[in-house]
Amino acid sequence: MKEGTKQILRKVGFTEAVDNVEKGLCGLCSKEIRLSEFRNKLSIREFGISGLCQDCQDEVFATDY
């Protein structure tokens, strides 16, 4: 996660989520991040943007409504 993104997220109240990502945890569910659990490079890239583990990405970006 980029430093500018971290600063913005902290200012809007997501300090705990940013702290989790910095510790190698999912920003949403606090699960330990293991790169081997990501489905593909796009999912790893998304983790770098949002800090979400693969399970949380699957839930947040689900397309079967």
* pLDDT tens track, the chain, 65 positions: 788 889 999 999 999 999 999 999 999 999 999 999 999 999 999 998 899 999 999 999 997 76
> The whole model's pTM is what?
0.82
Alpha-carbon separation of residue 28 from 10, 22, 45, 48, 50 (angstroms): 14, 13, 16, 13, 9
Closest CA to 33 of 54, 11, 63, 50: 54
pLDDT of res. 2: 83
Where do the structural domains in the chain lie, given as residue ranges? 3-60
How far apart are alpha carbons 40 and 43 in whole angstroms? 5
How far apart are alpha carbons 22 and 39 in whole angstroms? 21
> Are 54 and 38 in contact, with CB atoms under 8 Å apart?
yes
